[in-house]
């Protein structure tokens, strides 16, 4: 069954201050006499908050932190993997067997012992590297399934294989290693963007009294409509600060300015993981398998839309229901005064702890919850993200030392002369602050910031 909105629901704010059929009380629609009637109708003083809490910010505050920066760019380095693995091709022939790696820039050395795996044929064999010529490894195979010598598990010529090193073997009196392995790391960077907004009101309108008492997310209340509008502008700008860090993209097409910044979704798309399968136990176990291959960070936060949040509740409830010898959705005493809780906030699976939270940004009808077919860069609706908890230790090239930071955090421009985290100022001649002869009060907002997504290989996007 589809849910249809009423025709009088206003979900698009007016682009400027003006009198329209949506922003003043019209008595003509309530009777034939309209404004000519003798007695005015009863009017509620308080504004009805029909959309509840309208702001969506808070995600980055929950999973990250904010820290000042003084440069136009933030650069950090992340550790490479400790063990060596390469892709290549198995080559058959009479005599010694060879494996051609996909690159000659590798760190496999003479006398290394290697495991060679062919996923296509589900075959694995072990070998000893006898000589190396660029990308070509000459190997002597160890015993496999009763076969020895130069046998290599019956693989065909040009079969794709993966290779990793598990040690080395030297004969008596052999010389030592002829080369060392340098640690591998990757360097990443991001740049801040400048975000601006402005609110203005004419001097005459600042004295106008509203008919309806108003409230807002920023705590403003009373009867002066322009204070309400200024509060809404501030709340909207606060949301923009978070949404820009989530949605922003770096420049990939034509043009020279602006260049953009890497947001959370782009970082996960380029360097993380994503799954488009239905949210059930099978899919989740596949995610755990991939997490094992990455950092295996024990604690993780999931921020989901309503669809995936309920799907997690359902498959967890199925695991604990009475037919499996348990009690559905936890233990309770069946009291008549008790409201049954059909949701979970966290669970443990394998060696991982997961904490689940609804993400309003994905449910809001004017944002990512625009409709059920909202399409992102991966041609599927965004259902949520998985973010590792805790901190990472990385080398900060500006500070020249290792630092510990949350995997997800915001850097904003600031110095002793100017703090651009959340900057606001008033211009004009209204409101007690005279900076010009304009009969207006202009409230300006500015921030300069970027998002740092460290260890993005441990993040998951649900689409």
Confidence of residue 371 (pLDDT cuts 50, 70, 90): low
Rounded distance, CA 93 to CA 150, Å? 10
Q: Are 200 and 184 in contact (CB under 8 A)?
A: no
Cβ burial, residue 43 (10 Å; 0-12/13-18/19+): exposed
- pTM greater than the 0.95 cutoff: no
Rounded distance, CA 460 to CA 455, Å? 11
Q: What is the DSSP letter of 58?
A: -
Kindly report, residue by residue over 32-80, the tens digit of the pLDDT: 555 555 555 555 555 566 666 677 777 887 776 788 888 888 888 877 7
Q: What angle do CA 366, 367, 372 make, to 5 degrees?
A: 85
Given a cut of 80, whether residue 3 has pLDDT beyond it is no
Confidence of residue 407 (pLDDT cuts 50, 70, 90): confident
What pLDDT shows up at residue 124? 81
Three-state DSSP at 226 gives: helix
Given a cut of 70, whether residue 225 has pLDDT beyond it is no
Q: What is the 3-state secondary structure (H, E, C) of 249-318?
A: CECCCCCCCCCECCCHHHHHHHHCEEECCCCCHHHHHHHHHHHHHCCCCCEEEEEECHHHHHHHHHHHHH
What pLDDT shows up at residue 145? 44
Confidence of residue 178 (pLDDT cuts 50, 70, 90): confident
Confidence of residue 285 (pLDDT cuts 50, 70, 90): confident
Task: Name which residue leads in pLDDT, 438 or 378.
Answer: 438
Confidence of residue 423 (pLDDT cuts 50, 70, 90): very high
What pLDDT shows up at residue 420? 92
Q: Which CATH code of 1.10.600.10, 2.60.40.2700, 3.20.190.10, 2.40.10.170 fits the domain covering 85-171?
A: 2.40.10.170
Q: Are 129 and 137 in contact (CB under 8 A)?
A: yes
Section 131-136 average pLDDT: 88
Task: Name which residue leads in pLDDT, 68 or 221.
Answer: 68
Q: What is the chain's mean pLDDT, rounded?
A: 75
Q: Are 127 and 140 in contact (CB under 8 A)?
A: yes
In the chain, what percentage of residues exceed pLDDT 70? 67
Cα–Cα distances (Å) from 17 to 22, 200, 201, 313, 365, in that order, read 12, 10, 9, 44, 23
Confidence of residue 330 (pLDDT cuts 50, 70, 90): low
Structure-token match 């309920």, residue found: 310
Task: Name which residue leads in pLDDT, 148 or 84.
Answer: 84
Kindly report, residue by residue over 240-276, the tens digit of the pLDDT: 998 899 988 887 665 566 788 999 999 999 988 888 8
Task: Name which residue leads in pLDDT, 399 or 233.
Answer: 233
Rounded distance, CA 144 to CA 149, Å? 9
Kindly report, residue by residue over 343-359, the tens digit of the pLDDT: 677 788 888 888 888 88
Cβ burial, residue 378 (10 Å; 0-12/13-18/19+): middle
What pLDDT shows up at residue 207? 67
Q: Are 458 and 272 in contact (CB under 8 A)?
A: yes
What pLDDT shows up at residue 12? 42
Confidence of residue 398 (pLDDT cuts 50, 70, 90): low
Confidence of residue 227 (pLDDT cuts 50, 70, 90): low
Structure-token match 């651009």, residue found: 420
What pLDDT shows up at residue 406? 79
Write out the two tokens for 53.
């809490």
């Amino acid at each position: 069954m589809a849910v249809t909105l009423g025709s009088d629901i206003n979900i698009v704010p007016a682009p400027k201050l003006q009198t329209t059929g949506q922003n003043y009380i019209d008595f003509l629609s309530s009777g034939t006499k309209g404004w000519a009637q003798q007695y005015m109708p009863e009017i509620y003083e308080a504004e009805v908050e029909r959309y509840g809490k309208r702001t969506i910010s808070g995600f980055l505050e929950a999973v990250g932190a904010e820290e000042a920066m003084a440069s136009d760019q933030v650069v950090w380095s992340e550790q490479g993997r400790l063990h060596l693995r390469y892709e290549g091709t198995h080559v058959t022939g009479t005599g010694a067997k060879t494996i051609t790696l996909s690159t000659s820039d590798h760190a496999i050395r003479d006398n290394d012992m290697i495991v060679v795996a062919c996923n296509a044929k589900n075959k694995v064999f072990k070998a000893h590297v006898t000589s190396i010529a660029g990308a070509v490894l000459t190997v002597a195979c160890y015993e496999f399934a009763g076969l020895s010598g130069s046998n290599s598990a019956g693989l065909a010529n040009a079969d794709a294989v993966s290779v990793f090193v598990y040690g080395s073997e030297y004969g008596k009196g052999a010389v030592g290693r002829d080369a060392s392995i340098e640690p591998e790391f990757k360097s990443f960077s991001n740049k801040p963007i400048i975000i601006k907004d402005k609110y203005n009101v004419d001097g005459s309108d600042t004295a106008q009294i509203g008919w309806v008492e108003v409230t807002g997310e920023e705590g403003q209340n009373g009867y002066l409509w322009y204070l309400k509008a200024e509060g809404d502008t501030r709340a909207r700008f606060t949301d923009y600060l978070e949404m820009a860090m989530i949605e922003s993209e770096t420049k990939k097409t034509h043009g020279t300015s602006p260049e953009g910044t890497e947001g959370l979704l782009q970082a996960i798309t380029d360097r993380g993981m994503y799954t488009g399968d239905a949210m059930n136990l099978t899919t989740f176990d596949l995610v755990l398998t991939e997490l094992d291959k990455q950092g295996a960070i024990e604690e993780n936060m999931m921020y989901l839309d309503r669809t995936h949040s309920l799907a997690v509740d359902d498959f967890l409830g199925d695991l604990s229901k009475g037919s499996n010898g348990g009690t559905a959705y936890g233990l309770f005493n069946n009291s008549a005064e008790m409201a049954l809780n059909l949701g979970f906030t966290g669970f443990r699976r394998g060696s991982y702890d997961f904490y689940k939270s609804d993400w309003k940004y994905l449910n809001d009808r004017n944002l990512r919850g625009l409709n059920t077919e909202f399409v992102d860069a991966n041609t599927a609706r965004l259902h949520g993200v998985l973010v590792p908890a805790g901190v990472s230790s990385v080398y900060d090239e500006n500070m020249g030392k290792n630092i510990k930071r949350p995997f997800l955090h915001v850097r904003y421009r600031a110095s002793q002369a100017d703090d651009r985290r959340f900057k606001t100022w008033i211009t004009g001649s209204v409101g007690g602050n005279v900076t010009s002869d304009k009969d207006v009060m202009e409230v300006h907002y500015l921030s300069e910031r970027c998002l740092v997504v460290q260890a993005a290989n441990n993040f998951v996007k649900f689409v």
